[in-house]
Copies of this chain bind each other. A is one copy, B any other.
Amino acid sequence: MTTNPMSPALVQQVIAKQFPGLLGIELVETTPERVLGRLRARTEICTVGGMMHGGAVMGFADTLGAVGTFLNMPPGATTTTIESSTKFMAAAPEGQLLTGESVPLHKGRTTMVWQTSIRREDGRLCALVLQTQLMMEPKAVPTA
């Protein structure tokens, strides 16, 4: 399968002005077989109870899985999440630096499945996310 190699810094730059930047996601590793990122549980992505908001956890995971899919596609192709299921298993207190690791479970012709583990500093699993990405081929560019 054609891949789309990009350094963490380059991918980071691409997504910085959008939602992943608002969350504060930092990409650490961006290969077609694994995407690693970090996210600090700042007050503004927490709940009233002082824990990372479930939506922020899901947004973190969704970003990593989408980046992973992107890195497996030919240049110009695009991807969109069509399904995401999350099990929340432990809360992440405000201030914690969470680590997210996303790995592919399935690389098909039209869909990919990525599994993302979000862990606390003590290694405990906060959430496990399974997401299905639909891959859309590059649109043909009209030539003169």
Which A residues lie at the B interface, using CB under 8 A? 14-15, 17-23, 43-49, 51, 53-56, 58-63, 66, 78, 80-91, 105-106, 108, 110-111, 113, 115, 125, 128, 130, 132, 134
Contact = CB atoms under 8 A, between A and B. Distances in A.
A14 B106 CA distance: 31
A109 to B, nearest CB: 10
A60 B108 CA distance: 24
Copies in the complex: 4
A70 to B, nearest CB: 9
A83 B80 contact: no
A87 B132 contact: yes
Contacts of A61: 55
Nearest to A45: B19
Contact of A58 (B15, B44, B48, B58): B58
B88 A115 contact: no
B88 A80 contact: yes
